[in-house]
Amino acid sequence: MADLIIDRLIDLAATRSDSVAYVFLQEGEPADRLTFGQLAGRVSAVARHLLAEASAGDPVGLVFAPGLDPLVALLACLRLGLAAVLIPPPTGEAARERYEAILKDCRPSRILSNAQTVGRLRRGPDNSGRGPRWLLIDTVPVDPDGAVPLGDLGLGPLPVLEDLAVIQYTSGSSAEPKGVMISHRNIAATRTCIDAGFATGPGDRWLSWLPLEHDLGLFGGALQSLWHGAINHLMAPLSFWRRPLSWPMAVGRYGITISGGPDFAFARCADAVRGRDVAAALGDHRLDRWEIAFCGAEPVRADTYRRFADAFGSIGFNERAYCPCYGLAEATLLVSGGSRYDPPPLLSRPAAGDAAHPPPGRHGTVVSCGPMRTSGGGMIVDPETLHPLAPGMDGEIWVAGDSIGQGYWGRPAASDAAFRARTALGDGPFLRTGDLGFVADGELYVTGRLKDLVILQGRNIHPADLEHSARTAAEADGLGAMVVANQSDAGGGDPGLILVAEVPGRHRHIVERGAGRLATALWRAVLRRHGVSVDRIALVPTGTVMVTTSGKVRRRATVDRLTDDPGLVLHDWRDAARIAANAPQRAAAVADLCGLMPTPRRSEIALFARRWMLATLEADADDLDDGMSWADAGLTSAAAVEFVTDIERATGVTLSADLLFEHPTLGSLLPRLEAALCP
């Protein structure tokens, strides 16, 4: 098989031109499709257009709404030897700041997009010369008599394996995103890593709803099928967020053999069918053909594995298909993964390890993420002494091989530290993953993070960013030390984020008179800035937050301390309780809307929207600006989906899966709702 993925497309266009390569689904129905011949023709046309715009090695930004155009743009960049940088569209304050930070870091001269995406942005592209020049690829004509073949030297020589292919930005801090430099060799090696366990082939049928900006969505969800000439069905991530069951329903409807996502996705599907007739919920579509249900991008939980298998076993899901895996952008994608048809081993914690290096956390069950798949293998290393550890001992995961990225764009010192590490014995170079785990019987078990970075719903989140945002709340003035951590990473058992804030003795009246208001203010400050909902806020006395001798906060140790001594908590705020308390207000708004059907007035639609959002946000009317995007207003993706779902439930009207992306502000959304619901 070809070593370059663009070579593989050239072969497929010549030998299987009429076979379908990609299908884009909207509301479960095919909305766009490309055969291998059509895909090659589109890629060739865009490459010819781009040839005069950029030089080999240049970073080129790709900013697209979900669809097939981003794949066309990516492959055109790969054909010309350009470094593709996939960037989420800049909607909402946090997304725009991240977008601008990425542009500042990699400085692309060009941004590829399409009219659909540009039409949805609150601020259009700037082609004044002050920033990157935008090129809309859907305006590039395709020669109906056949485009210049992709291998034609008129497009320049094909890239070589060592050439830079993609700059993959990690989903961490928006202030300082780091771009992992991925070469064509890295992409080819990742294909081999995946094939080693998944045994993928041309007869597979793929489906992915994962964002292409994420390494799992790009290399594992969209490109792997192309190596084998297999058909791939793509969905918008918002389709899953709105209706989690749209994912397994599409798996059954289109006979999908390979599809997957983070742990939370399997959990949401299991929750969605609780107490329901599963067959009816999936439209009588069965899951007998689903042979690989890969699970990665965040910690894999044994209870999720069990709940999903139990929930969908009655309609053909085979628990042997469940395939936990582990990887990171710095390794292009996959580090370890299970094998096709082999269920993952489970271990009771702390069943492995010794007194010096026991697996962290309390009693529970850990799920194997399979054997190491990278060509250079890996080892578990003591992160302080840098000595390799024996099987069963917990330490930092170090890996090596051809799939390991080239380093961070423009960050030589950080690249040396992360990508070129050596053990105390001089072995290396290795990639230091920053993740903790142990190996037992050849299987890798991932147990936590070396540093405080937390992974939530597939996103890497820096606690310091959330802590800084919480301090911007006016009510936070006078509070002491403040830390954010993932409760389960810290050993607290419960999933989700906890914020611990110290209340100095002179401000203890805050707890006595207005603890709920203070906690809500901290929660909202984080939510509006990052789109992340803190699950628990603990107000504690001064001195509760633990620090090192040098003054650095010990986030996980602080959470462990509260777990061991809950009496330290002065006020314990839970988001679940907030949601339950606001549920009657939301339900009343939905019931009133239902009672207005089928002839609601426009003013009544606007009143419903405001009532629903104010109840969800626990905000005052003055806080809701019609010109503010729903992301900036503080609605998480999940809450925004619930908003549309409640409308559909009350009115019986099905709304577009892209509704919230197309109308990102309350002011722009209301006319669309009024047009859909009012006679």
Per-residue pLDDT tens digits for 608-618? 888 887 777 76
What own/partner pairs with CB < 8 Å and gap ≥ 24 does 447-454 have?
447/349, 447/359, 447/360, 447/361, 447/366, 447/394, 448/299, 448/360, 448/361, 448/489, 449/489, 450/383, 450/396, 452/485, 452/555, 452/556, 453/172, 454/484, 454/485, 454/486, 454/489, 454/497
Three-class secondary structure of residue 35 per DSSP: strand
Phi then psi dihedrals of residue 497, to 5 deg: -90, 145
Output the pLDDT for position 345. 75
Output the pLDDT for position 632. 62
Q: Is the peptide bond before 350 cis (omega within 30 degrees of 0)?
A: yes
Output the pLDDT for position 352. 39
What is the CATH code for 462-569? 3.30.300.30
Contact 47/150 with Cβ under 8 angstroms? Answer: yes
Do the domains 1-18+33-159 and 462-569 sit in the same CATH topology, yes or no? no
Any residues with CB less than 8 A from the CB of 390 and at least 6 apart, and which?
none
Output the pLDDT for position 673. 80
Across 423-443, b (16+ Cβ under 10 Å) vs e yields beeeeeebbbbebbbbbbeeb
pLDDT per position as a tens digit, 474-529: 778 778 888 888 876 655 456 688 899 988 876 566 666 678 888 888 888 888 77
Output the pLDDT for position 662. 67
Across 572-596, b (16+ Cβ under 10 Å) vs e yields bbbbeebeeebeeebeebbeebeeb
Beta bridge partners of 563: none
Whole-structure pTM value? 0.78
**Angle, alpha carbons 375-377-378 (nearest 5°):** 150
pLDDT per position as a tens digit, 536-595: 898 998 888 887 554 567 788 888 888 888 888 888 888 777 777 777 888 888 888 888
CA dist 57 and 35 (Å) reads: 29
Three-class secondary structure of residue 379 per DSSP: strand
Output the pLDDT for position 577. 72
CA dist 574 and 515 (Å) reads: 12
Output the pLDDT for position 182. 97
Q: Write out the two tokens for 522.
A: 């901290």
Q: Is the peptide bond before 359 cis (omega within 30 degrees of 0)?
A: no
**Angle, alpha carbons 59-62-66 (nearest 5°):** 160
CA dist 176 and 556 (Å) reads: 23
* 623 DSSP assignment: G
User: Looking at domain 1-18+33-159, does it have CATH number 3.40.50.2300?
Assistant: no
CA dist 348 and 364 (Å) reads: 6
Element (DSSP H or E) covering residue 459: strand 459-461
Q: How many residues does the chain have?
A: 679
Output the pLDDT for position 546. 83
Sign of CA dihedral 24, 30, 36, 40: negative
Query: Can you give the C-alpha Rg of the chain in angstroms?
Result: 25
Output the pLDDT for position 511. 63
Q: What is the dihedral of CA 121, 127, 132, 136, to 10 degrees?
A: 60
Task: Report the chain's mean pLDDT, rounded to a whole number.
Answer: 84
Closest CA relative to residue 183, chosen from 327, 54, 56, 81: 81
Output the pLDDT for position 637. 64
Output the pLDDT for position 295. 92
Domain residue ranges of the chain, discontinuous segments joined by +: 1-18+33-159, 462-569, 578-677
- The domain made up of 578-677 has a fold known as 1.10.1200
**Angle, alpha carbons 286-288-293 (nearest 5°):** 105
Q: Write out the two tokens for 227.
A: 């190596």
pLDDT per position as a tens digit, 45-103: 999 999 888 777 789 999 999 999 999 999 999 999 999 999 988 876 667 778 888 99
The series of mean pLDDT values per 10 residues for the chain, 679 residues long, is 86 94 94 96 93 84 95 96 93 75 92 89 66 90 68 84 93 68 96 91 96 92 95 93 92 97 90 91 95 87 88 94 92 92 69 40 68 94 93 92 96 95 95 91 85 68 79 80 77 72 73 76 81 85 74 77 86 78 78 82 81 74 65 65 78 70 72 79
